[in-house]
Structure formats: C-alpha cells, structure tokens
Amino acid sequence: MRITLLAGGVGGARFLRGLAAAAPDAQVTVIGNTGDDITLFGLHVCPDLDTVMYTLGGAVSEEQGWGRAGETYTVQSELAAYGAGPDWFRLGDRDLATHIARTAMLRAGLPLSAVTRRLCERWQPGVTLLPMTDDDVRTHVIVDDGEGTRTIHFQEWWVRLHAKVPARGFLPVGAERATPAPGVLDAIAGADFVLLPPSNPVVSIGVILAIPGIAEAVAAKTVVGVSPVIGGAPVRGMADACLAAIGVKPDAAAVAAHYGPGLLDGWLVDTADAGAAFAADLAGIEVRALPLYMTDVPAAAAIAAAAIGLARELLG
Ligand code: FO1
C-alpha cells in the first residue's frame, strides 16, 4: 500500500509515528513543508523537515515536539556572549550539526531534496521524506503592529512574537515561481491515497498546496484529512491564530470547508465535533468522528488506521 502525506511539523510527525505503527508495511512518502525554513548565522534551518526526521528517527525532544532530545546549548550561549543574534530561536548543539551538514551540502550544489535524503540516511525515518520544493519559499506574515502594515518571517511571528500580534494574512514568498521537488508529483500520482495529517492547514499544508501543480495532483486522488482542531480549539500550536487571519473559524467543519470538497473526500473529526458530519458545506465529504487526541503512539495509530479505513472505503 502506497500512502503519500503532506506534513508540517509536530502534529504531522506525531501522526506519522502512529501511521508507522498502524501500517508498518506501507510505503510512505512525506511531502514536507519548507515555508518555515529560516537562515540563521548563515545556516539553513528546516524546522518541519527536521521535526519529521527526528521524530521518526527516534531523536526528537518529546516535550518540545521539535529539536533534539538531550540537547545542550553551549554554542548558542557562546554566540550570545558575542552579542551575535538573534537569540529568540533556540538552536541546540546537536541540532546545529544538522544545519551545518545541510548548509555545507547545499553550498556544494546539492538540491535540498538530495540533502534531505542524505540526512535521512543517518536517521532511517522509515518514510521517503521530500521537501515540497527545492526552490526557496519562505512564509511571511502580514502584521499590523501599530507601526503600520508590514511582513515578518513566519518564525519571528511564531517564535519571537508567539503569534500574539494578529496576522492579517500569510504570504508564501516565492511559491508562485517554485516547482515541486523531484519525486513529489510522482509520489502523489502513484499513491493509493493521500492523507492530510493534523498539521497547520494554513502555514503547513496550505503552503505545500501553494506550490504550482501540487494542489491539482492531490485533488485528483482520494484524500482523507484529520482535523487539527478539536472542540473549537487547535490541539497544539496556534492554528487558531492562523485560521483567524484567513477568516476561517477554528472548528472542524470550517477547516474541512476551507480545504473544500474539491480536495477532501474524507474528514476525521473528534467525537466532540460529531455534529460536523451534518454541516451543509461539507456536502461531498465523508465525515467520521472518533477520538483525535494523539496522547500516545497507540492513540495516533488508531487515528491513522481510521484514516486508512476511510480511504479504502472511499476507493471502493
Ligand atoms: N519553536 C519555538 O517555539 N521556539 C524555538 O526556539 C524553536 C526553535 C526551533 C529550532 C529548530 C527547529 O527545527 C524548530 C524550532 N522550533 C522552535 C519549532 C518551530 O518553530 C516549529 O516547529 C515550526 O516552524 C512550526 O511548525
């Protein structure tokens, strides 16, 4: 069974860990969001790719959901001693080795897709991890913080400002000129079905879908999504701040309607949102309700199994 997913950071990675438990023999390809990427101290950091790689490679910091377990911050404190900023984005010593290795390979001329494959040789995540594109795409946030409307890098809004400054919108800068990375369109077309894990629908899955060609390729497949919102609030992260910026209510039915019946064939909602099954604007989307909190791997596996079951049912 070949399954392809579009994934962002922590929510996607935790779902993938459940998928590996639910379908150990499936051939899984993950198309990862690179709109969160940031260059710091000359190093190319790929938060969403690294979160998937570390989580499935067994090295992620469980309490953070990102970065490495057992991390130390000697380099960062030395940089701070020089007054070398920014200091609001925590880069641990082990994590820095990933960014140094990645940046060295990029400088040697390797595309990000080849670099990601090389880094995954160490971590053996058990999936094929592809960046959505090898081109530079960076999500910027339009904010109006009293100094007039301006755009800031997603990480500055997300990490330094804790998404507390209301976002007026999001710009995946460079997306319109980007092309899907090698293997991305084939992985979508060749999949038995596509799953949308509970990643951020705006700045993670939405940015991947903004790469020309990807949305059309996904829409041609049987697609089952998992709501990232339970009972009117995001499970983690600040998806509600992102949804508000684009005028989407933080509820399971509204997120499905945002993706639309042109993209989604099936939608998993938490039992708290079982009423979503009757939302008029979800006509054409098969809605199923089950517990969606990924409290541990078995819980995530049950959700993944339900997503697979619904996809197979819809495939007929
Ligand atoms: N998130 C934070 O809230 N604070 C940080 O200092 C931080 C550092 C960081 C370093 C590497 C990395 O791969 C991820 C990091 N994240 C941090 C998480 C990151 O902002 C998010 O995982 C994604 O960009 C959103 O999905």
First to last CA, the chain: 15
Cis status of the peptide bond prior to 86, with omega within 30 of 0: yes
- Does residue 162's CB lie within 6 angstroms of at least one atom of ligand 1? no
Residue 220 C-alpha to ligand 1 middle, in angstroms?
Answer: 33
pLDDT in tens, 223-269: 999 999 999 888 877 888 899 999 999 999 999 999 999 999 999 99
Average pLDDT over residues 179-190: 98
Asked whether the predicted pLDDT for residue 91 surpasses 90, the reply is yes
Question: Which atom of ligand 1 sits closest to the CA of residue 51?
Answer: 13
Residue 205 C-alpha to ligand 1 middle, in angstroms?
Answer: 17
CB atoms within 10 A of CB 199: 30
Distance, CA of 36 to chain centre: 9
Contact criterion met (CB below 8 Å) for 153 and 190: no
| Consecutive H or E run containing 6 | strand 2-7
Domain parsing of the chain, residue ranges: 2-134+177-315
pLDDT for 232: 82
Q: What SS3 state is found at 173?
A: strand
Reported confidence tier of residue 148, pLDDT bands at 50, 70, 90: confident
pLDDT for 42: 98
- Does residue 35's CB lie within 6 angstroms of at least one atom of ligand 1? no
> What CATH topology corresponds to 2-134+177-315?
Rossmann fold (3.40.50)
